[in-house]
């Protein structure tokens, strides 16, 4: 019963995380429609996140949790994560919300490929089939050969690069076992704040009050999502939590329709279904293999 209660808390936190990520995406999408750039989205996300993270650390493990003996590993993971987020935010300026969110769920598929190429993990025919299904889903969404219906190529490329970068982060986190979660998230956000802040003279501009509120509110939703996602992993395994991540897609469709009059077509829904199925199957297979080897499954820390 205690384990069940823990699972319920983990699921509740994951639902909170998925909902918050959807809210962040919608608010940032509205901000880009008012002229905000991708580096600005990253800056405001980090600006709000850092003080919240510090309070979270002070109330929990304490500042000593931010210490590390692997600064270069943190730096590499942070650079990769920030590039991935910048690509996703750039796609946000070019694509409808539902399409960006859907393509973002290619990350588990890319993680399978990277684990094979970089970590030399064995990938069986079942997981390769899931990879093929994921790419088939992308092909359906992009609708090659239907130029009049096709999404902007640049937006698709940025969205796929964002998903690939997120997969790379998953691989990097696998190699950081033993590091405190607080340190991983904090130093990632700290580098995001510094690098995006330095870019503001080139990519930033003054915004009116409503746009600033969208940016700050989006940043607040982002850190709630980050903490909710990270905290959920303490109470339930990835295989239990992962299905609830796809609530982000429902949120993206709902917010896109309500706020931006974006209605996804059959291609997005069909392709999204394939991508979601491939992602869920990939995580399920990884969990089964990890149980057989008695190794904890990979955890995504954002």
* Share of residues in the chain with pLDDT > 90 (%): 27
Lowest mean pLDDT among 40-44, 91-95, 110-114: 110-114
Chain centroid, CA 301 distance in Å:
9
Per-residue pLDDT of 269-289, as tens digits, reads 888 888 888 877 777 766 666
pLDDT band at 300 (very low <50, low <70, confident <90, very high): very low
State how far the alpha carbon of 204 is from the alpha carbons of 36, 83, 154, 196, 295, in Å.
8, 17, 21, 9, 45
Model confidence over 27-57: pLDDT tens digits?
Answer: 999 999 999 999 999 999 999 999 988 988 8
Structure tokens at 234: 């303490």
| Predicted local confidence at residue 141, as pLDDT | 81
- Determine the Cα–Cα distance for residues 189 and 41; give it in Å rounded to an integer: 13
For residues 240-251, b (16+ Cβ closer than 10 Å) or e, as one string?
A: ebbebbbbbbeb
CA distance 129 to 109: 10
- Every domain of the chain and the residues it spans: 2-293
Q: What angle do CA 223, 296, 17 make, to 5 degrees?
A: 20
Q: Rounded distance, CA 258 to CA 179, Å?
A: 41
Is pTM beyond 0.85? Reply is no
**For residues 216-231, average pLDDT:** 89
């Amino acid at each position: 019963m205690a384990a069940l209660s823990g699972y319920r808390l983990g699921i509740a936190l994951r639902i909170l995380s998925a909902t918050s990520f959807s809210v962040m995406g919608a608010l940032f999408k509205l901000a880009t429609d008012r002229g905000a750039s991708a580096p600005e989205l990253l800056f405001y996300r980090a600006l709000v996140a850092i003080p919240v993270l510090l309070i979270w650390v002070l109330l929990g493990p304490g500042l000593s949790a931010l210490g590390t003996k692997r600064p270069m590993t943190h730096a590499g993971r942070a650079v990769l994560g920030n590039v991935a987020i910048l690509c996703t935010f750039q796609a946000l300026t070019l694509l409808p919300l539902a399409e960006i969110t859907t393509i973002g769920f290619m990350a588990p598929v890319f993680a399978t490929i990277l684990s094979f190429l970089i970590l030399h993990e064995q990938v069986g025919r079942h997981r390769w089939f899931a990879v093929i299904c994921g790419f088939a889903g992308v092909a359906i969404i992009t609708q090659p050969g239907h130029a009049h219906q096709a999404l902007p190529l640049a937006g698709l490329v940025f969205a796929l690069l964002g998903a690939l970068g997120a997969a790379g982060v998953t691989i990097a986190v696998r190699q950081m076992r033993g590091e405190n979660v607080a340190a991983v998230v904090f130093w990632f956000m700290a580098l995001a704040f510094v690098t995006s802040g330095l870019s503001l003279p080139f990519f930033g501009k003054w915004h009116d009050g409503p746009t600033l509120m969208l940016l700050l509110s989006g940043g607040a939703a982002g850190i709630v999502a980050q903490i909710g996602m990270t905290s959920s992993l303490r109470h339930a395994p990835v295989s239990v939590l992962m299905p609830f991540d796809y609530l982000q897609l429902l949120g993206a469709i709902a917010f896109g329709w309500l706020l931006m009059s974006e209605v996804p077509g059959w291609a997005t829904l069909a392709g999204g279904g394939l991508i979601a199925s491939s992602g869920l199957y990939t995580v399920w297979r990884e969990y089964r293999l990890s149980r057989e080897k008695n190794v904890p499954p990979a955890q995504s820390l954002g």
